[in-house]
Chain A
Amino acid sequence: MAGAGGGGCPAGGNDLQWCFSQVKGAIDEDVAEADIISTVEFNYSGDLLATGDKGGRVVIFQREQENKGRPHSRGEYNVYSTFQSHEPEFDYLKSLEIEEKINKIRWLPQQNAAHFLLSTNDKTIKLWKISERDKRAEGYNLKDEDGRLRDPFRITALRVPILKPMDLMVEASPRRIFANAHTYHINSISVNSDHETYLSADDLRINLWHLEITDRSFNIVDIKPVNMEELTEVITAAEFHPHQCNVFVYSSSKGTIRLCDMRSSALCDRHAKFFEEPEDPSSRSFFSEIISSISDVKFSHSGRYMMTRDYLSVKVWDLNMESRPVETHQVHEYLRSKLCSLYENDCIFDKFECCWSGSDSAIMTGSYNNFFRMFDRNTRRDVTLEASRENSKPRASLKPRKVCTGGKRKKDEISVDSLDFNKKILHTAWHPAENIIAVAATNNLYIFQDKLN
């Protein structure tokens, strides 16, 4: 069932009214490349929200406790911790610079007071521990006032240090560094539901790691042809099934998805399922291969469906039906006639991500002009919303936007030609349990929530 391209419904997606909650990041027109957000991810409880940027930094926001004095203000997200996850490096053997840009962040399920997350750039994955400290030990007599160790023979008394309260400090420390396992650029990481392993995927291979072990990984998929002249596709994204620890999927640049079962063999070069929709020959163009490439694949929380995003559409697949998707929603079909210009300005290579709502009833993905789209799977309604500072007054409702797709432009509509292709929303995240969404628009992070009546 195709959604109306570029349309919007007055009631808003899911019949929800979305309203502005917060915006993070500088207002400056001049955006430093390093400040551009490259990934957004809620943790399992939704209390923490992590962003990674092109400068290799990770910023974690924590949701404040609800304020009883202000019933309408539901917990806001404030900066909890900021740290430099990756630094630029240089590969001397290949004479190549390795960018510090954070490609993906994935949280680990919380098991104790500390939080753990994986962050990756093109080559190296790091496991970070984010922990709080609000006490410190005091009363040692091993050092003198200058901080120098005292001569043990001159220490005559036994003194037990005591813990004293101090200002809350949040520490981020690298616990594991998983390096040297990828020849190509890492595009995905995914933590397994066994909570012990995770996968990392690059253009041609997928590796399986144990979270505790950094010096070895198992190659579970390798699509590198013996002769690179025969290369026809690359891996574009990969993810573990949310409940079945033996199942994972990976998408390809040809628009297909393979589901693999790790129980069948150590090297999953033979898929268990192959999801592909026959191409419509009438819509073939120079750019067919580019626009059919899948930029993101995400399992639904239930594990029954998966969603894939290609350049113009988002599709929902039932894991039990490989022949075609159960839903196809057009994200910005009006761009089909503009593919040549989008090729010229490189926009056609943009990799839009997508996400599920906590209940799997709606999906969200980004577009250009700081627009993002939501599709309600039950009502089949869709809406286009905009992340903009202009309507960023507290609790201001988001007005659905509409792109004029030919004919006469109505009031409040925007024509395709006046869309700003420099403003794009590639990364979005949906709170796992509530209707709170985080939308990355260049260097700004917008947080919206449903309106309480």
Chain B
Amino acid sequence: MEVQKEAQRIMTLSVWKMYHSRMQRGGLRLHRSLQLSLVMRSARELYLSAKVEAHEPEVPLPPVRSPDPRLHQSREAEAGAEAAPPDGEPTSPEPMDTREAPRAEETPARCAPRPTKVSRKRRNSSLSDGGDVGLVPSKKARLEEEEEEGASSEVPDRLQPPPAQAEGAFPNLARVLQRRFSGLLNCSPAAPPTAPPACEAKPACRPADSMLNVLVRAVVAF
């Protein structure tokens, strides 16, 4: 449990560092970005394996996916999701986000788990077989509404649990970024316009994919 918390904290920290590197004078540094992503990767690895151990008996889904090779993919996707902020708006940092940074670092262990957990599940279903039919109908409807409003598929989900004190700056940030991101997605030529309503999995997956690209771009682009 302790290990898991620590891994979580380091992941959150890494995300913030990545985000703030963008605003650094002189631009993003490749060496630093690489190191941050490596730390995040090993933290994530540890976090997931700790999670698997903790939830093995009760939760059937994570164990299926964590130990297998796709873990890598999903890890990267999530890393991408978290690292997305920088690219969402490269030149104009959002003041709100900046101000929230320290607070997020103060309470990362408590506020971070929720979003991560949520996104993991959703992505999992998307990655595992791409057709988790049982989940589709209810989610689908909500998703479409949200998309029309320009919000992301994960937002409603995250709002579902009672608004907790645990929801610190991180989820807020995530929401902001998600919103930005879905905007990006909507106008992205790469995203097939027909895809979104198909199944719950896709929206969760596609942002992740392109966020992964963004992470890569964050490393590449100068």
Q: Report whether B35 and A231 are in contact in the complex, using a CB–CB cutoff of 8 Å.
A: no
Which stretch from B37-45, B59-67, B81-89 is at the chain A interface? B37-45
**A236 interface residue, CB < 8 Å from B?**
yes
**B162 interface residue, CB < 8 Å from A?**
no
**B193 interface residue, CB < 8 Å from A?**
no
Q: Report whether B35 and A97 are in contact in the complex, using a CB–CB cutoff of 8 Å.
A: no
In the complex, which of the residues B6, B13, B32, B219 contacts A349, with contact meaning CB atoms closer than 8 Å?
B32
Q: Which residues of A contact B31 (CB under 8 A)?
A: 185, 187, 203, 234, 236, 253, 293
Q: Report whether B35 and A203 are in contact in the complex, using a CB–CB cutoff of 8 Å.
A: no
Nearest Cβ distance between residue B149 and chain A, in whole angstroms?
A: 30
Kindly report which residue of chain A lies nearest to residue B46, judged by CB atoms: A286
In the complex, which of the residues B10, B25, B27, B30 contacts A94, with contact meaning CB atoms closer than 8 Å?
B27
In B202-222, which residues have CB < 8 Å from any A CB? 212, 216, 219-222
Main secondary structure of the interface of A (DSSP, over half): loop
Q: Which residues of B contact A234 (CB under 8 A)?
A: 30-31, 34
Q: Report whether A228 and B34 are in contact in the complex, using a CB–CB cutoff of 8 Å.
A: no
**A96 interface residue, CB < 8 Å from B?**
yes
In the complex, which of the residues A98, A185, A204, A253 contacts B35, with contact meaning CB atoms closer than 8 Å?
A253
**A229 interface residue, CB < 8 Å from B?**
yes
Q: Report whether A228 and B219 are in contact in the complex, using a CB–CB cutoff of 8 Å.
A: yes
Q: Report whether A289 and B219 are in contact in the complex, using a CB–CB cutoff of 8 Å.
A: no
A287 to B13, CA, bound (A): 13
A235 to B21, CA, bound (A): 19
Q: Report whether A343 and B222 are in contact in the complex, using a CB–CB cutoff of 8 Å.
A: no
Kindly report which residue of chain B lies nearest to residue A236, judged by CB atoms: B31
Given known contacts A234-B34, A289-B39, A343-B10, A228 and B222 CB-to-CB distance under 8 angstroms: no
In B1-46, which residues have CB < 8 Å from any A CB? 6-7, 10, 13, 17, 25-27, 29-32, 34-35, 38-39, 42-43, 46
Given known contacts A184-B222, A286-B39, A97 and B32 CB-to-CB distance under 8 angstroms: no
**B91 interface residue, CB < 8 Å from A?**
yes
**A318 interface residue, CB < 8 Å from B?**
no
**A347 interface residue, CB < 8 Å from B?**
no
Number of interface residues of B (CB under 8 A): 28
A185 to B25, CA, bound (A): 13
**A344 interface residue, CB < 8 Å from B?**
yes
In the complex, which of the residues A97, A187, A253, A344 contacts B26, with contact meaning CB atoms closer than 8 Å?
A97
Q: Which residues of B contact A346 (CB under 8 A)?
A: 17
Q: Which residues of B contact A95 (CB under 8 A)?
A: 90-91
Main secondary structure of the interface of B (DSSP, over half): helix
In the complex, which of the residues B10, B26, B34 contacts A98, with contact meaning CB atoms closer than 8 Å?
B26
Q: Mark A333-365, 1 if CB is under 8 A from B, else 0.
A: 000000010011010010000000000000000
**B105 interface residue, CB < 8 Å from A?**
yes
Q: Report whether B13 and A344 are in contact in the complex, using a CB–CB cutoff of 8 Å.
A: yes
Nearest Cβ distance between residue A284 and chain B, in whole angstroms?
A: 9
Nearest Cβ distance between residue A54 and chain B, in whole angstroms?
A: 10
A190 to B112, CA, bound (A): 46
Kindly report which residue of chain B lies nearest to residue A95, judged by CB atoms: B91
**A290 interface residue, CB < 8 Å from B?**
yes
Q: Report whether A349 and B91 are in contact in the complex, using a CB–CB cutoff of 8 Å.
A: no
**A171 interface residue, CB < 8 Å from B?**
no
Q: Report whether A286 and B42 are in contact in the complex, using a CB–CB cutoff of 8 Å.
A: yes
**A53 interface residue, CB < 8 Å from B?**
no
Nearest Cβ distance between residue B216 and chain A, in whole angstroms?
A: 5
Nearest Cβ distance between residue B215 and chain A, in whole angstroms?
A: 9
Q: Report whether B26 and A287 are in contact in the complex, using a CB–CB cutoff of 8 Å.
A: no
Q: Which residues of A contact B220 (CB under 8 A)?
A: 228
Q: Report whether B219 and A99 are in contact in the complex, using a CB–CB cutoff of 8 Å.
A: no
A253 to B29, CA, bound (A): 13
Q: Report whether A289 and B38 are in contact in the complex, using a CB–CB cutoff of 8 Å.
A: yes
Q: Report whether A96 and B35 are in contact in the complex, using a CB–CB cutoff of 8 Å.
A: no
Kindly report which residue of chain A lies nearest to residue B11, judged by CB atoms: A286
- Sorted from nearest, which 9 A-B pairs have the closest CB atoms? A99-B26, A96-B27, A203-B30, A228-B220, A289-B38, A229-B216, A234-B31, A290-B35, A286-B42
B-side interface residues toward A, CB under 8 Å? 6-7, 10, 13, 17, 25-27, 29-32, 34-35, 38-39, 42-43, 46, 90-91, 105, 212, 216, 219-222
**28 A-B contacts (beta carbon < 8 Å):** A95-B90, A96-B27, A97-B25, A97-B27, A98-B26, A183-B222, A184-B222, A185-B30, A187-B31, A203-B29, A203-B30, A229-B212, A233-B34, A234-B30, A234-B31, A234-B34, A236-B31, A253-B34, A286-B10, A288-B42, A289-B35, A289-B39, A290-B39, A340-B6, A343-B10, A343-B13, A343-B39, A349-B32
A-side interface residues toward B, CB under 8 Å? 94-99, 101, 122, 183-185, 187, 203-204, 228-229, 231-234, 236, 253, 286-290, 293, 340, 343-344, 346, 349
